[in-house]
């Protein structure tokens, strides 16, 4: 495992950005992140800026696409990557490892140190969890980055720690942060261990990103509602009488970045039905939909909401799209 001594002097010398890339357990207001950041500020004696880049249990493929906006543009000195909880939740995908490697390449390109935070799930004792954990360990060893695995420490954690299968109680968040800080201190005094830059995986996800959707992607450009989610992300919203089209000769389509909310429902994507509504759709939130297999470059993909079995009094389902998750080929 690589140490983090290369960033210790930077963090001690002046205020810097520290990014927390992950899923809902990272986004959690009373979770580990604010306590860990406060501990790092105290440790280095500098008012470091926290970059909260956590949302949903979307998995590493969605995270490598969205990190350009959520992480890279902030030019952090150190980035913690907490994606294991999401990867266990959505299941190991064929390109999950390539996506994690893509994250490390993006961070290396801006001279940002990386460290995996492998946090446990209360339901994470199965074979899939073991496979995900082995993948993270393999990538960390190959690229010589720090990796903190709290699974062994918290294997018997109960309701005083977990609020549900993945999110912690307030006390659990404080304990998680304390354990991470304890493991980090020796890493901050250990030298790095350079590793070969040769990729582990054939596919390069360093180019994976989000392409914002525009009206030129619509079959009926006038039949849409334009808006802005959280005053940040421009959106286009359509009903079952319209559809989006994606086509690129140089990029494959990995998924969609959407606003999931009360009006969400099923969508027809290239002739296949996808359910975009889930048990959290009672409020609007940022969400990524990752396809089981990418749509190849050059293929024209039609995407449209479709009518479902909701009561007649309810409005038809709508699709509020922010952008396309893509990768250069």
Residue 244's domain comprises 209-328
Average pLDDT rounded to a whole number, residues 121-139: 82
CA distance readout (Å), 216 to 223, 258, 319: 12, 17, 16
**Does the structure show a pLDDT above 80 at 275?**
yes
Q: What sign results for the dihedral spanned by CA atoms 207, 209, 213, 218? A: positive
The answer, yes or no, to whether residue 196 has pLDDT greater than 60, is no
Flag whether pLDDT at 195 surpasses 60: no
**Buried-exposed string 256-286: b where 16+ CB fall within 10 A, e elsewhere:** bbbbbbebbbbbbbeeeeeebbeeebeeebb
Handedness of CA 87, 88, 90, 96 (dihedral sign): positive
Structural domain contains residue 79: yes
Residues 138 and 168 in one domain: yes
Q: In sequence order, which residues have a C-beta less than 8 Å from that of residue 74 and are 6 or more positions away?
A: 17, 19, 49, 51
Average pLDDT of span 101-120 = 95
Task: Give the chain's domain count.
Answer: 2
At 205, is the pLDDT very low, low, confident or very high (cuts 50, 70, 90)?
very high
Over residues 205-224, the mean pLDDT reads 97
pLDDT in tens, 244-272: 999 999 999 999 999 999 999 899 999 99
pLDDT digits (tens, 9 = 90+) for 15-50: 999 999 999 999 999 999 999 999 999 999 999 999
Our separate counts of H helices and E strands in the chain read 8, 15
Q: Is pLDDT of 97 > 80?
A: yes
Domain co-membership, 170 together with 308: no
Mean pLDDT across the stretch 271-281? Answer: 86
CATH of the domain at 214: 2.60.120
Contact 111, 143 (CB under 8 A): no
- Please check whether residue 61 is in contact with residue 97, taking contact to mean a CB–CB distance below 8 angstroms: no
Residues 234, 274 within the same domain: yes
């Amino acid at each position: 495992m690589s140490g983090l001594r290369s960033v210790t002097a930077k963090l001690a010398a002046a205020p810097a950005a520290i990014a927390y890339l992950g899923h809902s357990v990272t986004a959690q207001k009373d979770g580990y992140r604010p306590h860990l950041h406060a501990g790092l500020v105290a440790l280095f004696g500098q008012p470091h800026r926290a970059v909260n880049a956590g949302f949903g249990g979307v998995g590493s493929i969605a995270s490598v696409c969205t990190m350009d906006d959520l992480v890279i543009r902030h030019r952090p000195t150190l980035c913690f990557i907490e994606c294991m909880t999401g990867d266990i939740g959505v299941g190991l995908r064929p390109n999950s490892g390539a996506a994690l490697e893509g994250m490390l390449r993006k961070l290396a390109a801006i001279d940002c140190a990386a460290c995996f935070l492998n946090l446990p799930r209360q339901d994470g004792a199965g074979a899939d969890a073991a496979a995900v954990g082995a993948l993270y360990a393999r990538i960390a060893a190959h690229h010589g980055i720090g990796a903190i695995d709290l699974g062994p420490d918290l294997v018997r954690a109960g309701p005083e720690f977990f609020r549900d299968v993945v999110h912690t109680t307030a006390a659990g968040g404080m304990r998680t942060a304390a354990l991470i800080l304890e493991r980090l201190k020796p890493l901050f005094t250990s030298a790095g261990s350079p590793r070969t830059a040769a990729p582990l995986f054939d596919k390069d996800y360093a180019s994976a990103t989000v392409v914002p959707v525009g009206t030129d992607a619509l079959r009926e450009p006038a039949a849409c509602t334009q808006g802005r989610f959280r005053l940040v992300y421009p959106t286009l919203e359509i009903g079952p009488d319209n559809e989006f089209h994606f086509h690129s000769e140089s990029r494959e389509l990995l998924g969609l970045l959407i606003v999931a909310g009360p009006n969400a429902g099923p969508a027809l994507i290239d002739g296949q039905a996808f359910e975009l509504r889930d048990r959290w759709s009672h409020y609007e939130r940022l969400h990524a939909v990752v396809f089981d297999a990418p749509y190849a470059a050059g293929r024209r993909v039609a995407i449209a909401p479709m009518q479902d079995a909701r009561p007649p009094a309810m409005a038809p389902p709508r699709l509020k799209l922010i952008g396309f998750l893509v990768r250069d080929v």
